[in-house]
Amino acid sequence: MRLVTTPRITFLRALADEILQHYGRGRMIVAIDGPLQSGKTRFADDLAAVLAERDHAVFRASMEDFHRSRAAQGDFGDDTPTRYLRYGFDESALRRVLVEPFRLGGSTAFVTRVFDPARDAWVEPKWLTGPDDAILVIDGRFVLRERLAGLWDFRIALDGDPVDAADVLAYAESDPRLVASAVVDNRDAEHPRRRFFDSC
């Protein structure tokens, strides 16, 4: 279905064109990082819709749905920004039930959601399959951190300075804008624009 053309959709279509230049056959993963409240989820939803507009099979996931439970986080010490940065998310589950099986393609099933952070409870996994050629769009805090950045084919960082304590720590360790394939200023959400981030 053709989306209504707005400045935002026009921008996302141009970004999709760039992404698809890197996309041949098989499975591709696009990851979107950015500070807290930078609009990552909506940006990812809209980008996925634009990619689907091109008749690609597109799946969505979010790091929010791969949290560790509060009890499991408690095993790593007191509730601090450092603990949240290090242990807030179950990266092992992310790799095991989503990234690795998605990469295998074919009939291998994968899961895009394992946890409901609002209820602090696990959810019944819904196993999905897709065609050999498919794109996964994932958003979330810290997805472009050093130990995860290599999992993604195309990396997008939403521009903005971190203000949340965990984000400040994360950016001090590894600024996602420095490893991104594209940096986007999304502060005016209806008129996003590309930023060519100078890391020098």
Q: What is the pLDDT of residues 76-133, one digit of tens each?
A: 999 999 999 999 999 999 999 999 999 998 889 999 999 999 999 999 999 999 999 9
Give the model's pLDDT for residue 2: 86
Domain segments of the chain as ranges: 39-194
For position 37, what pLDDT does the model report? 92
**39-194, which class in CATH?**
alpha beta
Helix, strand, coil % (nearest 5) of the chain? 40, 20, 40
Which tens digit of pLDDT belongs to each residue from 2-40?
899 999 999 999 999 999 988 768 899 999 999 999 999
Partners of 30 in beta bridges? 137, 154
Could you tell me the pLDDT band of residue 200, with boundaries at 50, 70 and 90?
Answer: very low
Q: For residue 71, is pLDDT > 70? A: yes
Instruction: Kindly report, residue by residue over 162-178, the tens digit of the pLDDT.
Output: 989 999 999 999 999 99
**Residue 23 token pair:** 């996309």
The per-residue DSSP string of 3-49 comes to PPP-HHHHHHHHHHHHHHHT--SSEEEEEEE-STTS-HHHHHHHHHH
Report pTM: 0.94
